[in-house]
Amino acid sequence: MGGGRPPGREAPSAEAADESPTRVLLRLRTEPAVSAGWREAVAAAVGALQEGGLVAVPTDTVYGVACLAQDSRAVQSIYSLKGRNGTKPLAICLGDVEHIYRYCHVNVPDELLQDLLPGPVTLVLKRSEELNKDLNPFTSLVGVRIPNHPFIRELARACPGPLALTSANVSSQASTLTVSEFQDLWPQLSLVVDGGPIGDVQSPECRLGSTVVDLSVSGKFTIIRPGCALTSTVEILRQKYGLIPESS
């Protein structure tokens, strides 16, 4: 697997990536997640996360930064990275739909979840007692992401609990589609996984991020952020499941 570091540093091997404390950069090949290179990258990311580190990862929308959601110190590190005081919530990221039920109280059909996930949608649901109380302590809700991207799904499956996930940028700044666009954050990261450009870097639409929809009230939905999948999401919720829209 190809690897590189910030200019002037030697390229580490994938095997050594989880041993370095900061800014290891791993480049993924465009090969299936079953390949040895992908497995090594997943293992490096898991190692960094289990040590309390923050890892930058590609998703199906924009680049994200992840940590273990059940690790309170790591969660605080993400809040600091984003320049937040903790009042803007973090989403959790899971590998598969069936894991949602452990961390959320679900009041929509499982088929609805399967229709929207994996995909560029964040579903806001009532959180369960299983979720770390230091993650978004100001709200009884939590956003759930299952990105349609093989690397982050494999990473989520390999971790002992959910990932906390946010976009790889300082709050209020533009979302990022390449690792170089958030290079100023690298010193605060344990690992940067470079999956190449996500979408068209010249297109503002590609930086919209996921569509965020609140499904915590039975029979209704609220669009919190239009994002990149608004039309298809609303069509599924209204036409297939008969949910009623509410204004945010």
Give pLDDT tens digits for 131-153. Answer: 999 999 999 999 999 999 999 99
Total domains in the fold of the chain = 1
Asked if residue 15 belongs to a domain, the reply is no
Domain that holds residue 159: 25-200
Residue 91 pLDDT more than 60?
Answer: yes
Q: Where are the alpha helices (DSSP H) in the chain?
A: 36-50, 72-82, 100-103, 110-116, 150-158, 230-235
CATH of the domain at 133: 3.90.870.10
Angle between helices 36-50 and 150-158 (to 10 degrees): 50
Residue 205 in domain: no
Give the residue among 161, 166, 156 at the shortest CA–CA distance from 136: 166
Q: Would you say residue 7 has pLDDT above 50? A: no
Task: State how far the Cα of 132 lies from the Cα of 70, in Å rounded to an integer.
Answer: 5
Question: Quick check: is 102 in a domain?
Answer: yes
What value does the CA radius of gyration of the chain take, rounded to a whole number of Å?
17
Is residue 212 included in any domain, yes or no?
no
In a domain? residue 29: yes
pLDDT at 5 over 50: no
- Regarding pTM above 0.85, the answer is yes
Query: Has residue 6 been placed in a domain?
Result: no
Asked if residue 136 is part of any domain, the answer here is yes
* CA nearest to 55, candidates 47, 45, 41: 45
- Domain assignment present for 167: yes
Q: Enter the tokens of residue 223.
A: 């669009």
Q: Which of 68, 56, 62 is nearest to 188 (CA)?
A: 56
> Between the CA of residue 178 and those of 57, 114, 193, what are the distances in Å?
10, 29, 10
Residue 37's pLDDT band, with cuts at 50, 70 and 90, is confident
